[in-house]
Structure formats: C-alpha cells, structure tokens
A = this chain, B = another copy of it.
Amino acid sequence: MLRTHTCGELNPKNIGEKVTLCGWMQKSRDLGGMTFIDLRDRYGITQLVFNMQTNAGLCEKARKLGREFVISVKGTVEERSNKNLKMPTGEIEIIVDKFDVLNRSKLPPFTIEDNTDGGEELRMKYRYLDLRRNPLRKNMELRHKMTSETRNYLDLQNFIEIETPYLIKSTPEGARDFVVPSRMNQGEFYALPQSPQTFKQLLMIAGYDRYYQLVKCFRDEDLRADRQPEFTQIDCEMSFVTQDDILNTFEGLIKHLFEKVKNINVEDFPIISYDEAMKYYGTDKPDIRFEMKFVELNNLAKGSGFKVFDDAELIVGICAEACGNYSRKQLDKLTDFVRKPQIGAKGLVYVKYNEDGSLKSSVDKFFDQKALKTWAEAFNANPGDLLLILSGETGHIRKALCELRLEMGNRLELRDKNKFRPLWVVDFPLLEWDEENSRFHAMHHPFTSPKAEDIQLLNSEPGKVRANAYDLVINGVEIGGGSIRIFNKELQKKMFKALGFSEEQAQEQFGFLMNAFEYGAPPHGGIALGFDRLVALFGGSDSIRDFIAFPKNNSGRDVMIDSPSTISKEQLDELKLRIVKE
C-alpha cells in the first residue's frame, strides 16, 4: 500500500507514530508561520501541519498545492493543541516531513463541499467530482449498507439469489421495452427486462421455493424527475405461501432495514384495503404519518339548496386541527391551491369551528349553525379546527382532496422526514378499464390471481373483481408491490379472456410460461421493491438521482460519457439495420 493509514483513523493512540497518508487536498490555510492542510480520502479528513520556521522549503512547497491535488505525505502524529472533537481525527495532526504530488488537478468546476456552488447540469457532467462530496459519498455508503442488510435478511430466511438473464424477449404488454438487435440472428431482437417477472415464476415452477435478486430493470418510458430508464429492484418470489406470509416476510425485511441501517424500530404495518385507502385518503399510497382522514358528507350536506353540493357525486372534506384561526388570505391561498390545473377542483368550502363554539363557513347562506354542527361532529372536530370541503365527481375530487391533505400536512409540519410509517394496501382491483383501448388491463400483471370469492364475477362484472395484490407504501411513497400468482392453467385462460386476449395471442406472448404451468406449478406469489426509491427514502430525499452513482438525465442521457451516441456504419451494417431519416 502507498499509505500506512487512511485519513479517517488516526487518533491519540497513534501519537508519536511515523505514518504515510495519501489523499486529496481539501483545504489549505496559511496562518502566519504555519500552513494547515486538510487531507481527504473516503474515510475522513486528517490535518497536516507545515511550519515555516522548522522547514521553510517544505512549507513553501505545500503552499503551492492546489485544491484536489493528490498527495502522499510522510510525517509524525502529534496531539493537536486546538482539538476538534466533532471529527474522529480531530485530536491529532500530522507534522509533515516529506510529501510527493502523486497527481495534479485542474481547478474543479465547482467546490467539493457539502453545499456546492455547482449547478445540476455541471455536476452531472463532472459526476466523478460530484461523487467526491460528502453527501453523495454517504448516499453510496447507505446504498451499499442497505444491499448488504437486504441480502443478510433474505439469506437467513432461506432465500436464494439467482441471476436471471438480461437479454430476454420483448412482450407488447405493459411499458415499452428497450430492445437489442441480434447480430447472430439477423432481423431479430432481444429485449432488456422490465422485471424478471416470468423468470422468477419459472424458478418457482423449477422448485426453488424462495428466490431473490437485486437486479437492474429497464423501461423505455418518457422520464419524469424521479424516474430512470434503468433502475434497481429487490425482486422476490415464494412458493407454498399465502398473502399473509409474503406480507410478514417483507414487513420483516423493512423492519430489519430500519433497525440495522437507521436504528429505528418501526411499528407493525397497518393493512388497509384499496377501497379504504381511496375513501379515507383519496389515494392508494396514503401518507399515514398524520391522520386527517377524509370524511364524507353526502348524507349531511345534500338537499339544502346549495347547487354545487346537490349536484355533486361526492362531498368530502378533511379537518385541519387548530387552523380555525386561518385568515382570509390563508384561506384564499388554499382555494388557489385546489384550483391549480394539476389539482383541478372548482372551489373550496371551509368551516371554521370557532373557539367560542360557533361555526363560520363560506356557505353560511345555505347551512345554519345546526347543520354545520352536524358536520363538525362527523369530523370529530374541536373548537379551533378548520374543515376543508370539496365536492364533485368521486375519483376526481378524492384526488384533489388528497393533494390538499398533503399540502396541509406540509403546512402543519406533520410530514417529518425522520418519521417512517409504512403500511400495506391490499385488495386492489384485478382489472382496470382502459378508456383508450376500450378494454380491461391487468392492474398489476396478467398473472395476478383474483380473490377466490370474486372469481364468479370475472365474466359478469370484471371491474369488481379484487386481486390478491398488495402494495407497500411508506410516507406516501409506493415502495413496491406484488401479488399471489395464478398457477392454474384454466384460471389463467379465464384471465386472458377477461383481458381480451385470444387463445392464440395468449399462447404467442406467454406460451413458454403457460406451458410451464402444465408441469406441476406450485402455488406462489411475490413482490418487487423499488430499491432506488427505498434508499432515497432512507436518505431523507425525494430524488433518487442522488442515490445512483451514474444516473441519466431527464432525456435519458448520460451527459458525462455523452451517451447515447451514434454508432459506426460498420456496426449498423453488421446488424443489418438502417436509420430512417425523417
């Protein structure tokens, strides 16, 4: 090794030792006759000392070192007079005898500090410099720790990690595949997996009982800020299990991660149905760090001549505790919020429950104190609270109120980043109506099993069939989901029929899995967790990009390596491909 120690490990026990350190020049301070340099590596920072009086030449040379120069230093560990107990190495410093510049550095285009002056674009281009900053280094370390602990937990539960192939087959169902032209099979393409779904089911049929994989998946979708064309998934499947077994196993995984990585004991996860989630939170991924559940007022608020309510399919509201003193201006802001195009409500009805017990609303013309009192009771409201009520078409208005609830959660600081409230949402609808194509789509995927008691509805009322499907939600973020799979060929046929597949189409697209079902497929189910998002959540951030070493930008580009890029004519010729110019 070119060093005897790292920059993160020397302490008073090493005083007097001769050491060699290597690292980057983080910072230099000249204080009269002394020069102090902070030498940085992955493990920490150690202070170097140069003295004009004892070694002027060396000190002069040290003063010429630029930021991010890589140096190798020989010296003696001494006790610091001015200790910094916040740093692991803050009690010592190195009196330098000799140093070598291992490599020079141009001035970095932004500062390598916790709070850098570099913009997003610049930092992406010089990602290798951005990754030197503490916050990103910690994110990468967090990610590594989480992969380790995930594997530790699953290994102990008898799961076996099996690598599934990356060069697979394109299927038209679902999101867009990235495809890979084959040179050896000209005119044909592989596809990169959107998930190892079919392979993990085949592994269950192969008897592997408990499978997992931390695996890259690929989706060629138009990207939003929090999506990446390639992403990592904790992918799992189990045989001979019920839904409860899967919920217990992966609740165990999440608890294990919180305990080992963040030293937090999270409570048992509530399990709520999709219907309840929609009714009480207006979303299938509720943030339950705070209550503020929806209360429906159709029974109490209709028939008083207020046309907006009378015509509405749903009248529903939330109670914001201790906000009864909101000013006109504050209320107007909330009205503006719900009227924003992306929220899309027409207006907001409020009821202030005054401290004196009286009620003041924006619809006093239509509702008297007695009527408003019944509302307040429905909300379990107390004097000082504020009711916020929306009305309209059910799906639409639930979505709008969900946004308002989250907004109030933010305003009231009820969404603490250091508080984690995972839950399970279960009993999802099996099918979802696709307006565009006038047919049903599988809400999870076509191998998700319907609830036994709902199978009879598959022909008559397919929209009402509930699935053995579940999502894991933490703090309002969908972390993952899964289902108990169909493992019976007849039921699978019914399912394809409900999805509007002909037998030929089903065979063509999913033939190999259908065939496998005929050779002793066991009951099985599984789950996939979005690992990038889980790490970001643990790291207290909404952006997954800071938790991926080399992410792509919103156009799917890696601006550092400048990819994608054109390829040579020879490459295209070998693949028998031509680019069509528009």
Q: Which of A258-266, A459-467, A566-574 contacts the other chain?
A: A566-574
Per-position binary interface string of chain A over residues 163-184, scored 1 when its CB falls under 8 Å from any chain B CB and 0 otherwise: 1111111101000111111111
Contacting residue for A172 out of B106, B162, B166, B568, CB 8 A? B568
Per-position binary interface string of chain A over residues 206-240, scored 1 when its CB falls under 8 Å from any chain B CB and 0 otherwise: 11111000001010101100000110100000011
Contacting residue for A167 out of B68, B72, B143, B230, CB 8 A? B230
Instruction: Give residues in A with beta carbon < 8 Å to B.
Output: 1-3, 6, 22, 24, 40-43, 68-70, 72, 102-106, 108, 126-129, 131-132, 137, 140-141, 143-144, 147-148, 151, 155, 160-170, 172, 176-192, 198-199, 202-203, 205-210, 216, 218, 220, 222-223, 229-230, 232, 239-242, 245, 487-488, 512, 516-523, 548-550, 552, 555-558, 560-568, 571, 574-582
Given A182-B556, A548-B163, A549-B162, A131 and B578 touching (CB < 8 A)? Answer: no
Whether B131 and A169, one on each chain, are in contact in the complex, defined by CB atoms closer than 8 angstroms, is no
| A501 smallest CB distance to B (angstroms) | 16
Q: Supply 15 A–B pairs (Cβ within 8 Å), ascending by A.
A: A1-B241, A68-B520, A70-B520, A103-B520, A131-B208, A144-B161, A162-B549, A163-B549, A164-B550, A167-B556, A167-B558, A168-B563, A176-B574, A180-B180, A182-B556
Given A42-B208, A207-B137, A232 and B163 touching (CB < 8 A)? Answer: yes
> Which of A137, A141, A155, A579 counts the most chain B CB atoms within 10 A?
A579
Given A522-B70, A568-B172, A128 and B1 touching (CB < 8 A)? Answer: no
A229: chain B residues at CB < 8 Å are 167
Whether A206 and B129, one on each chain, are in contact in the complex, defined by CB atoms closer than 8 angstroms, is yes
Whether A102 and B522, one on each chain, are in contact in the complex, defined by CB atoms closer than 8 angstroms, is yes
A127: chain B residues at CB < 8 Å are 202, 206
Contacting residue for A140 out of B162, B562, B563, CB 8 A? B162
Whether B240 and A209, one on each chain, are in contact in the complex, defined by CB atoms closer than 8 angstroms, is no
Whether A140 and B208, one on each chain, are in contact in the complex, defined by CB atoms closer than 8 angstroms, is yes
Complex-state Cα separation, A229 to B463, whole angstroms? 44
A564: chain B residues at CB < 8 Å are 167, 169, 180, 182, 185, 188-190
A180: chain B residues at CB < 8 Å are 178-180, 192, 564
Complex-state Cα separation, A1 to B309, whole angstroms? 49
Q: Which residue of B lies closest to A232 (CB)?
A: B163
- How many copies make up the complex? 2
Whether B148 and A189, one on each chain, are in contact in the complex, defined by CB atoms closer than 8 angstroms, is no
Given A155-B148, A179-B571, A105 and B209 touching (CB < 8 A)? Answer: no
| A90 smallest CB distance to B (angstroms) | 20
Whether B575 and A578, one on each chain, are in contact in the complex, defined by CB atoms closer than 8 angstroms, is no
Contacting residue for A151 out of B105, B128, B151, CB 8 A? B151
Complex-state Cα separation, A174 to B488, whole angstroms? 48
Q: Which residue of B lies closest to A178 (CB)?
A: B180
A182: chain B residues at CB < 8 Å are 556, 564
Whether B160 and A206, one on each chain, are in contact in the complex, defined by CB atoms closer than 8 angstroms, is no
Q: Which residue of B lies closest to A209 (CB)?
A: B42
Top 4 closest A-B pairs, CB basis? A105-B520, A131-B206, A169-B563, A188-B564
Whether B140 and A160, one on each chain, are in contact in the complex, defined by CB atoms closer than 8 angstroms, is yes
Whether B41 and A207, one on each chain, are in contact in the complex, defined by CB atoms closer than 8 angstroms, is yes
A218: chain B residues at CB < 8 Å are 166-167
Complex-state Cα separation, A517 to B104, whole angstroms? 9
Whether A561 and B169, one on each chain, are in contact in the complex, defined by CB atoms closer than 8 angstroms, is yes
Q: Which residue of B lies closest to A3 (CB)?
A: B240
A517: chain B residues at CB < 8 Å are 103
Please name 6 further chain A to chain B contacts, defined as beta carbons within 8 Å, in addition to the given A166-B218, A167-B552, A180-B180, sorted by A numbering.
A41-B207, A42-B207, A148-B161, A170-B567, A179-B181, A184-B220
Whether B68 and A209, one on each chain, are in contact in the complex, defined by CB atoms closer than 8 angstroms, is no
Complex-state Cα separation, A264 to B555, whole angstroms? 52
Whether B579 and A187, one on each chain, are in contact in the complex, defined by CB atoms closer than 8 angstroms, is yes
Whether A132 and B206, one on each chain, are in contact in the complex, defined by CB atoms closer than 8 angstroms, is yes
| A123 smallest CB distance to B (angstroms) | 12
Complex-state Cα separation, A577 to B576, whole angstroms? 10
Complex-state Cα separation, A472 to B334, whole angstroms? 67
Complex-state Cα separation, A189 to B564, whole angstroms? 5
